[in-house]
Amino acid sequence: DQKYEYIVTSTPRPGVGQITLNRPKALNALCSPLMTELNAALRAFDRDESKSIGAVVLTGSDRAFAAGADIKEMKDLEFSSAYGRDFIKAWSELTEITLPIIAAVNGYALGGGCELAMMADIMYCGPKAVFGQPEIKLGVIPGAGGSQRLTRAIGKSKAMEIILTGKNFTAEEAEKWGLASKVFESPEACVNGALDTAEVIASYGRLAVKAGKEVVNQAYETGLAEGVKYERRIFHGLFASKDQKIGMTAFANKQKPEWSHE
Ligand code: CO8
């Protein structure tokens, strides 16, 4: 796909789409055109009629996942246009994608870069990943969900420390605190690990995977009783899918299921 300037897209494994942020001169700083391309590429994978893609890996370079929003682009922004055009809102499009997204983070994931990684469904990182919300040093605060997602992931005291001091944190800390699920021994191992997991997810029925993502996300939006009821309703609905019959019949017959994605 050569239609993009700031990203590279590929399908490196069966059922797996990969998006690589590719703006090396600015450490993948997330300028508006890059975000427009990222959203377009994610939508293209998500809406593929053939349902050929079942999971997406989002990564950057060894040096930087993304060093944040583009400070040079942002520096002269005024309140009227920031508020008037709801600056940064378009970033949330990523959270409307129904395919699972795995972030493979190597190098800098700062500010908007950290926020982008936190919007993914699963986060893996390499040994030299550097996370942080340094916005306070620029006279602002996180603007793409950082204060909310970081707090939910690692708790109030640590989130306050990071957001109010602007200090970075390491791959080991991200894993220990539950922000990332795994640290790999090298950047390549991190990307490969993400592709492996994406391939496993993509080997299942698309509807069940979509439902699984939806119900986990619901845990962030509702109380426990409501959430459990929500899960049960979605679970009930899956008995109307062909894949439920295919999966359970295959188990009973000791066969491998051939998913219809319907
Ligand atoms: N924006 C624009 N350009 C950047 C950015 C960025 N965020 N980060 C790096 N670059 C550019 C540098 O300006 C430099 O360009 P040039 O070669 O033209 O001078 C090039 O990338 C290479 O960077 P460095 O020379 O600085 O590389 P170093 O290895 O010395 O340092 C660092 C790497 C530590 C990552 C350093 O570049 C840095 O501190 N970057 C900024 C990190 C940062 O503050 N990020 C947060 C930005 S704010 C944000 O993301 C807010 C999110 C949404 C909020 C909305 C608010 C309204």
pLDDT digits (tens, 9 = 90+) for 109-147: 999 999 999 999 999 999 999 999 999 999 999 999 999
- What are the structure tokens assigned to 50, written together? 């053939």
Residue nearest to atom 42 of ligand 1 (CA): 67
Identify whether the C-beta of residue 113 lies closer than 8 Å to the C-beta of residue 91.
no
DSSP state of 261: -
**pLDDT at residue 88 in the model:** 87
**pLDDT at residue 112 in the model:** 98
- What are the structure tokens assigned to 128, written together? 């030299």
Active site residues: 69, 112, 115, 135
Structural Rg of the chain based on CA atoms:
19
In this prediction, does ipTM exceed 0.90? yes
**pLDDT at residue 2 in the model:** 61
Predicted confidence (pLDDT) at residue 49 exceeds the cutoff of 90:
no
| Cβ–ligand 1 contact at 102 (below 6 Å) | no
Angle CA 10–16–21, to nearest 5: 45
| Cβ–ligand 1 contact at 174 (below 6 Å) | no
Per DSSP, the three-state class of 127 is coil
Residue nearest to atom 8 of ligand 1 (CA): 67
| Cβ–ligand 1 contact at 132 (below 6 Å) | no
Ligand 1 atom closest to 74 (CA):
57
User: What span, in angstroms and rounded, lies between the C-alpha atoms of 63 and 41?
Assistant: 22
Ligand 1 atom closest to 63 (CA):
29
Average pLDDT, the chain: 96
